[in-house]
Structure 1
Amino acid sequence: MPIQTAKLSDPAVRAFVTALNAHDQEAFHAVLAPGATMADDGSERDLDDWTAREIFDSNGHMEVEKETAAGRGLVARYRNDAWGEMRTQWKFDVEGGKVVRFETGQA
């Protein structure tokens, strides 16, 4: 049974998922710290290029199944128009209420 986004434990992660699912690029970028970084399946990626391609241009959507690491880790069903749906894991580093880094990959 999915976890409602509003019930996610960490406020920055909750804002990240809320903005992603709403396709709200302004809110999404507002939750990221300046110079934030990311990796996908263990490879460093350009954050702006990756989020445009994998989230905003392809209707990305995350349905959270489980939280770990006090809400800074998620297991979610992620889907977009490019790849369909897959089970993914997400890890967030948060400082000062902003996401400074996130890592994602298949679960």
Structure 2
Amino acid sequence: MSVHLDNPAVAAFVDAVNTGDREALFAVLTPGATMSDDGTDRDLAAWLEKEVFSSQGRMDVDSVSPDGRTLTATYTNSTWGSMRTRWSFTVAGSQITRFETGQA
């Protein structure tokens, strides 16, 4: 990470993505968490498998909003290469209930 993430749930999400840690990633997501990619809701588990785990996804965070729940990052995986992305997280307590991502 190139910037400090103040929100513990968001920081845990980014760390889990970058280390490929399935257990940690699913632990930071609430049961029933949802997500969208470029404005389209996706099956969370299938999306994570394809876009993160099996393609060695990695987030290099470039900036974070003052509330710590929206960030821009260079996202890289073996399927798509590198692209500038925006991530927005809905957090309840210490877990993420939803995230939205897409090209920035």
Normalising by the smaller structure, the TM-score range is over 0.9
Instruction: Give TM-score, length-normalised by structure 2.
Output: 0.97
CA RMSD of aligned residues (A): 1.1
Q: Which runs of no fewer than 5 residues in structure 1 stay unpaired?
A: none
Normalising to structure 1: TM-score of the pair? 0.94
1:38 to 35, 39, 46: 35
Structure 2: runs of 5 or more not aligned: none
Q: Which of the pair is proportionally richer in helix?
A: 1
Alpha-carbon distance, 1:2 to partner: 2.5
Alignment partner for residue 24 of structure 2, among 8, 11, 27?
27
- Alignment partner of 1:87 is 2:84: yes
- The alignment covers a number of residue pairs equal to 104
Q: Distance in 2 between matches of 1:16 and 1:88?
A: 15
Aligned to 2:47: 50
Q: Which residue of 2 aligns with 1:74?
A: 71
Give the whole-Å Cα distance in 2 for the aligned partners of 1:73 and 1:23. Answer: 21
1:96 to partner: Cα distance: 1.6
Pairing of 1:9-24 with structure 2 (within 5 A): 9-24=6-21
- Percent of pairs identical after alignment? 54
